Structure 1
Amino acid sequence: METDVSLEILGALAHPTRLDAFRLLVRHEPDGLSTGQLVEASGLTQSTFSTHLAVLAKAGLVLSEKRGRQQIQRANISALKSLMLFLAKDCCQGRPELCEPLIAELTCC
């Protein structure tokens, strides 16, 4: 992942509404949530939330698909993985055992 891409993703997540929405979508993988469910969970109006959703989609964090009459939003787990790898790539000066507690915490829950 390039630095500019990671900065765009981090910028998209640097707002409470967008971070909450993305985390909610991650919890609902692989099924995703309808746009209406996301709006309801956010407590915002449709138009306000749509702006936040557009920022997440532009950053590549959210994928949208049409199912029947609904737009289903899903977290782009591949983008999340790429960002996490980018952030941890040079972790611990080449001593991966120092990152083991982080990996253990991610896999335990």
Structure 2
Amino acid sequence: MLVKSLTLDDIEDVFKDSNIFTMASGNTGDVLKFFLYAKEENSHVLILCELKINILLASANINIKIGYLPEDEIISDAQETELFKHSQDFSHYLITCLQNLKNLIILDNLSIS
């Protein structure tokens, strides 16, 4: 069986290709940790994300903070609803990225290090 190494940089590149950018990343044992950010196109919505991937358990924990850029304020319920929708959309988008990583690992017999 051919075993390749998938590095943190490789994973960050998958995120970057999806317009999700890494502020910091690292690993402690079997857990990979990423601090990510994204900005909604054509809006003032900023998304911050802490992502922890447990390699042994094949699970991920996602914490998302979302808001308008500092110069903007939430002034209506409609804006709060909009932020909630952006948060849900980003969650689905990030999960798709993680599934793509999982497919790479399974299909190519890759091990993460």
TM-score, scaled relative to structure 1: 0.31
Q: Which has the higher strand share?
A: 2
TM-score, scaled relative to structure 2: 0.30
Q: Which has the higher helix share?
A: 1
